[in-house]
Amino acid sequence: MPKAVLMDHDGAIDDLLSQLLVLTMPDVDLIGVTVTPADCYIEPALESTYKLLQLMGKEQIPLGRGDYYGINAFPSEWRARPEIINALPMLINLPKAPDPYTYLSAPDLIIDRLTNAPGNVTMLMTGPCSNLVLALEKAPELAAKLEEVVWMAGAFNVSGNVQTFQHDGSAEWNVLWDPISTKKLLELELPLTFIPLDVTNHVPVTKAFLSTLATQIDYNLSNLTGQFWALTIDTIPGYYYTYFMWDILATSYLAMPEQFKTEVVKAKVSTRPPNAGQTYLDDAGYSVKIATDVNVEYFYEYLLTQ
Ligand code: AGV
Ligand code: CA
């Protein structure tokens, strides 16, 4: 039986690549995708999301539109990238995507998908957690349907990746966007696995990887993903703006959990400056699983194979 997976992403390059990666997994049944307007603008991001489904012959998978906006906005230059994606040669001429305002709102789609799933569902989140929290506030009984929540977010024993005003740099962006929803998520005590910066710091996007990927461009997916990744290279080499395979690593956890080192810890989140969105270990906190290390060679090889 394939694993039923519901995905919420926020439209960045690695989010869209993560959606593609999920669609290549033979043991995963993707039952819906919701988009959070965090590291993207919602309309072009929903268009990219739809186009990638089309490309894989999966346009029947339902989409949900995030209408909720978090507390701390992402930089606009980052949010604009799906416009470029939609203009790439392999995507620009695909049939037009539906009007994004015909979709259900994201929390309603999450409720619908969990309600109608015959068994339990794994939720993969590669952006902020607000849509899931909103859905569970509306329908708390559906928490029991969640097999596992896998979330790219947080920074526990390493520095954060936020550099902005009123901030000491200790937070990771997906948490900073909506620290209040993160606090609520921890309080729900779901089976929650973080793929935080502690582990994603091990997997930068490197030119060596892109160079190897380029040797296989006769495969359509290698060609397309090489073009996506090239859009992130302007961020190399300054540390704070190095692009990592953040969401891709979280997505790979679905297929290769045994390649990760994890720990069960107690954690909390700060909701106020100067460290809003900081996730930290605290004996009085909530029990969560965090990934701390991964077999990096195996991971890069897995991506090249998929
Ligand atoms: O903090 C990592 C999260 C991931 O979900 N995102 C990007 C990934 O999709 C925010 C982010 C941090 N640094 C960035 C980000 C950068 N340099 N460009 C775009 N987004
Ligand atoms: Ca993301």
What is the predicted ipTM? 0.99
Cβ burial, residue 99 (10 Å; 0-12/13-18/19+) = exposed
Q: Establish how many alpha carbons lie within 13 A of residue 193's alpha carbon, considering only the half-sphere containing its beta carbon.
A: 23
The response to whether residue 126 sits with its C-beta less than 6 Å from ligand 1 reads yes
Which ligand 1 atom is the nearest neighbour of the CA of 152? 5
The structure tokens listed for 118 are 């015959």
Of all protein residues, whose CA lies closest to atom 11 belonging to ligand 1? 173
CA distance 38 to 222: 27
Cβ burial, residue 262 (10 Å; 0-12/13-18/19+) = middle
Which ligand does the CA of 10 lie closest to? 2
The response to whether residue 200 sits with its C-beta less than 6 Å from ligand 1 reads no
Q: CA angle 302-92-123, nearest 5°?
A: 45
CA distance 192 to 109: 20
Ligand 1 centre to CA of 249 (Å) is 13
Ligand 1 centre to CA of 197 (Å) is 11
CA distance 204 to 195: 14
Q: Tens place of pLDDT for every residue, the chain, 306 residues?
A: 899 999 999 999 999 999 999 999 999 999 999 999 999 999 999 999 999 999 999 999 999 999 999 999 999 989 988 889 999 999 999 999 999 999 999 999 999 999 999 999 999 999 999 999 999 999 999 999 999 999 999 999 999 999 999 999 999 999 999 999 999 999 999 999 999 999 999 999 999 999 999 999 999 999 999 999 999 887 655 555 689 999 999 999 999 999 999 999 999 999 999 999 999 999 999 999 999 999 999 999 999 999
The response to whether residue 131 sits with its C-beta less than 6 Å from ligand 1 reads no
Ligand 1 centre to CA of 103 (Å) is 26
Ligand 1 centre to CA of 173 (Å) is 7
